[in-house]
Structure 1
Amino acid sequence: MAAGTAGLFALVTPAHAAADPQDGADITLTGPKLKRIQDKQNKPAWKIALKFAMDKRGIPYVWGGASDSGYDCSGLMLRAYEAAGIELPRVTNDQYAAFDRKISWKNLKPGDLVFFSNLGHVGMISKPGFMVHAPHSGDVVKEERLSNWRRDAFVGAVRPDPKGVRLSIKQSLTPAPSMPVATL
């Protein structure tokens, strides 16, 4: 790279595009704009998902919710990882089953999905000893300490990554065989 061009990136449109600079044929990105684009391209999926979930703190819990109108626990995880380009199933049981590799309590890292109470609840590790989640009706998305009670209710954890998701949970939906009908 030539001296003085570090931090400068030119995006040039295809040859068939208009050549008039006022028409947007050449766009030059410098400084903060370029850094934001580079950061997003280089940021691990878990960091994007965690930022999404943390940004939703204060939004009310809504059973079945998966939008800024309200989130339930699995809806928040679904949307957080969707923002990072990873497709998760909708409900906790399927989110847990979508990953073969399970993570133990002692190996939890930020971005891991943690499951509790017979797979009845899911949260995301935000930092050591804490998770972000949508707790229950009457509460809001929040970050809280992993208590001893949570430790006792812990079922397992998974670490979503682009290579680790089985994108569909296959279920056998073949119809039952037809039964013979007796006639008189």
Structure 2
Amino acid sequence: MSAPLGLGLVLTASPASASAPEKPVTLTLDGAGIKEIRDKALKPPAWKKALAFAMAERGTPYVWGGASASGYDCSGLMLRAYESAGIELPRTAAEQYSAFDRKISWDDLKPGDMVFFSGLGHVGMISRPGYMVHAPHSGDVVKEERLSGWRRQAFAGAVRPDPKGVTAWAAQIKQRRAPAPAMLTASL
């Protein structure tokens, strides 16, 4: 008996009976099936989880001192976003900046980096090149916003809470873009 299992997998087995001994199960994978399994096994890094959290909170009102779904201030949003990814941060923007020794320059910003402005009085997270997600101020909501010239002038520095994740993600992207192994077949 043979049955397709998806991902290029075929399971072949014979029915068990009292008089016949069990036959081994054969599992065959082709190159495309192995690539698909390998790609699905890749785990997203912490910064990607933190960014997904922050982006999902868009539209939540700004609340001074807020750090919950009922409202966030800028550092409260970063605190909860990275907490959801397993990285603990201090509470305030200045403390968050000081918690990391390695600082990131404006020209080296990557998604997931925390960016600080106005003498460390405000923090956001790079969402994609040229944009950040943040909780701006009273009367506004969590939103994604383009990094303007004004933001560049007010830039105080940046940190990367998940440096290993940024490096690992670049390797994962390269692996995902690689073609499937040619004519590879494995039988188990």
Tell me the distance in 2 between the aligned counterparts of 1:66 and 1:40.
32
Which runs of 5 or more residues in structure 1 are unaligned? 9-34, 165-184
- SS of 1:156's equivalent? strand
1:64 aligns with 2:65: yes
Tell me the distance in 2 between the aligned counterparts of 1:87 and 1:43.
18
Tell me the distance in 1 between the aligned counterparts of 2:153 and 2:92.
22
Cross-structure match for 2:159? 158
Tell me the distance in 2 between the aligned counterparts of 1:60 and 1:5.
44
Alpha-carbon deviation of 1:5? 8.2
For 1:84-123, what aligned pairs fall within 5 Å after superposition?
84-123=85-124
Aligned pairs, number: 134
Alpha-carbon RMSD across the aligned residues, in angstroms, is 2.4
Tell me the distance in 2 between the aligned counterparts of 1:120 and 1:106.
21
Higher helix fraction (1 or 2): 2
Cross-structure match for 2:184? none
For 1:1-184, what aligned pairs fall within 5 Å after superposition?
4=5, 42-161=43-162
Tell me: higher relative CO, structure 1 or 2? Use CA pairs within 8 A at least 6 residues apart.
Answer: 2
1:129 to 1:62, Cα distance in 2 relative to 1, 3 A: same
- List per-residue Cα deviations over 1:75-104 (Å, max 9, x = no partner): 000000000000000101110001000000
What is the letter of the counterpart of residue 125 of structure 1? I
Tell me the distance in 2 between the aligned counterparts of 1:39 and 1:154.
38
Cross-structure match for 1:175? none
% identical aligned pairs: 76
1:83 to 1:136, Cα distance in 2 relative to 1, 3 A: same
1:40 to 1:162, Cα distance in 2 relative to 1, 3 A: farther
1:39 to 1:6, Cα distance in 2 relative to 1, 3 A: closer
Alpha-carbon deviation of 1:130? 0.3
1:150 to 1:156, Cα distance in 2 relative to 1, 3 A: same
Alpha-carbon deviation of 1:69? 0.4
Alpha-carbon deviation of 1:161? 1.9
Which TM-score applies when normalising by structure 2? Answer: 0.66
